[in-house]
């Protein structure tokens, strides 16, 4: 028996692929600071837990395939804070934002179709596309431009008869870049010119450290073209709840999405009830969270920017940054930090950035850092990271030769 070619080609997540090394370090009594994964440490809102504790039903039945109406209404009310008008029929509740992205790809693409993406991008996009036999066509953004889009002609140069959509993430994971309204409108104009869908991953839209407001594609006057991916995971520190939202005003797309939703029956009931309660929190809740992450962003940036030979740009949002390191292979460095380095039985785990690129040979001198720890732990984790980096640089050539 053989594994499918699709299975063989499925990439390992750069966020999770080093977990066995982290587990081995922990088994030896080493404390691992996790800067590799966007797992918030801010407490999940108490109202979510209270709602779960008070939830009771004689039978835990299947729910609607597109999610409870009351939750979809709560999501509509939440978007009113951004002066965006939605109807419950514009929303399908998904099992995390991940399923929403997969639904988007499956509903608008046939095998061998193409989607244009800007790299570095959220690594799991690649796996989602591969599972649907869809090709991601990358446009590389540069740190020196703050990972903003400077060459819009490059987008049109990548468009082919097989192109079905342009996919953007703003605020961006892994770079923390927030696209300005002008950038979004220019991308939209290209999508409109070539009759393409515009998919926007807006999971981190609260996490905005810039003076300008986040501009959602839902603010464009082109409802048939726009698809938005959203989630409760980050804004409510509820990654394990696995509740996402697929949003579009395109009725044909939504009909198709609902068929995919029926095939997997329904999203989880109890988590939907908790999410509905969270969406009814006052909007001031988000500002408290954003202020905390902005503080962490500043700490992280200031510490790393003071190190010679490290290159980075200050993130504008989300809670990640991409750091260019004076190393040849960040995969090997991140692994070495777990298998060979510790100080006082402590070390730091980061995500090698090559997995956030589609283009070959990019990202091997970069890592993604998630500033998701409280100040004291974050400072300690970064100090360990820097000390480990300095030691690794001295032995990298020898280490690489030993592996050849």
Place of tokens 């779960």: 52
211-237 residue pLDDT tens = 999 999 999 999 999 999 999 999 999
Q: Which residues contact 227 (CB under 8 A, 6 or more apart)?
A: 104, 108, 165, 197, 198, 199, 200, 246, 247, 248, 250, 253
- Higher pLDDT residue, 186 or 6? 186
- Higher pLDDT residue, 143 or 137? 137
User: How open is the CA angle 39-45-49, to the nearest 5 degrees?
Assistant: 105
pLDDT the model gives residue 9: 84
User: HEC string of 109-140?
Assistant: CCCCCEEEEEECCCCHHHHHHHHCCCEEEEEE
- Cα Dmax for the chain: 65
Mean pLDDT of 315-333: 97
Q: Report the run of H or E that residue 165 belongs to, with start and end.
A: strand 163-169
Mean pLDDT of 3-24: 90
Q: Provide the pLDDT confidence category of residue 14 given band limits of 50, 70 and 90.
A: confident
Burial class of residue 19 in the structure, from the number of CB atoms within 10 Å of its CB (0-12 exposed, 13-18 middle, 19+ buried): middle
pLDDT the model gives residue 5: 86
Phi and psi angles of residue 119, each rounded to the nearest 5 degrees, phi first: -105, 150
pLDDT the model gives residue 39: 94
Residue extents of the structural domains in the chain:
5-43+284-403, 60-279
Give the CA dihedral 326, 328, 334, 338, nearest 10 degrees. -100
292-313 residue pLDDT tens = 999 999 999 999 999 999 999 9
Please identify, in words, the CATH class of the domain defined by 5-43+284-403: alpha beta
Q: Which residues contact 219 (CB under 8 A, 6 or more apart)?
A: 82, 84
pLDDT at 404 over 80: no
Tell me the pLDDT of the chain averaged across its residues. 97
pLDDT the model gives residue 403: 83
Lowest-confidence segment of 177-186, 213-222, 312-321, 395-404 by average pLDDT: 395-404
pLDDT the model gives residue 157: 98
Mean pLDDT of 334-362: 97
pLDDT at 159 over 90: yes
pLDDT at 11 over 90: no
pLDDT at 397 over 90: yes
Task: Give the CATH fold of the 60-279 domain.
Answer: 3.40.640
pLDDT at 156 over 80: yes
């Amino acid at each position: 028996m053989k594994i499918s070619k699709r299975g063989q080609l499925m990439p390992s997540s750069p966020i999770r692929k080093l977990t066995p090394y982290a587990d081995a370090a922990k088994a030896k009594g080493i404390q691992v600071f996790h800067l590799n994964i966007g797992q918030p440490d801010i407490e999940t809102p108490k109202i979510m837990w209270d709602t779960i504790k008070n939830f009771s039903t004689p039978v835990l039945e299947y729910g609607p395939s597109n999610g409870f109406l009351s939750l979809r209404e709560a999501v509509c009310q939440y978007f009113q804070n951004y002066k965006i008008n939605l109807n419950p029929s514009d929303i399908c509740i998904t099992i995390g934002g991940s399923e929403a992205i997969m639904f988007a790809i499956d509903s608008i693409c046939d095998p061998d179709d193409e989607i244009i993406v800007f790299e570095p991008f959220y690594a799991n996009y690649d796996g989602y596309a591969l599972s649907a036999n869809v090709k991601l066509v990358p446009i590389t953004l540069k740190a020196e431009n703050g990972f903003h889009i400077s060459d819009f002609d490059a987008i049109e140069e990548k468009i082919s008869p097989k192109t079905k959509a342009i996919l953007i993430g703003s605020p961006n994971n892994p770079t923390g870049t927030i696209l300005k309204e002008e950038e979004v409108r220019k991308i939209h104009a290209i999508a409109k010119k070539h009759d393409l869908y515009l998919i926007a991953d807006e999971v981190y839209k609260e996490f905005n450290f810039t003076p300008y407001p986040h501009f959602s594609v839902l603010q464009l006057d082109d409802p048939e073209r726009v698809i938005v991916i959203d989630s409760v995971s980050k804004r409510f520190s509820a990654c394990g709840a696995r509740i996402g939202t697929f949003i579009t005003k395109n009725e044909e797309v939504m009909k198709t999405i609902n068929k995919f939703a029926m095939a997997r029956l329904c999203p989880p009931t109890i988590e939907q009830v908790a999410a509905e309660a969270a969406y009814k929190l006052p909007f001031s809740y988000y500002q408290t969270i954003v202020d905390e992450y902005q503080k962490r962003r500043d700490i992280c940036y200031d510490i790393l920017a003071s190190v010679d030979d490290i290159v980075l740009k200050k993130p504008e949002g989300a809670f990640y940054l991409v750091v260019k390191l004076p190393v040849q292979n960040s995969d090997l460095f991140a692994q070495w930090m777990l298998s060979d380095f510790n100080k006082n039985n402590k070390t730091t785990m980061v995500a090698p950035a090559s997995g956030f690129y589609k283009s070959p040979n990019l990202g091997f001198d970069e890592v993604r850092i998630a500033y998701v720890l409280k100040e004291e732990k974050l400072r300690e984790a970064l100090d360990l990271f820097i000390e480990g980096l300095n030691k690794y640089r001295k032995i990298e050539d020898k280490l690489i030769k030993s592996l050849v």
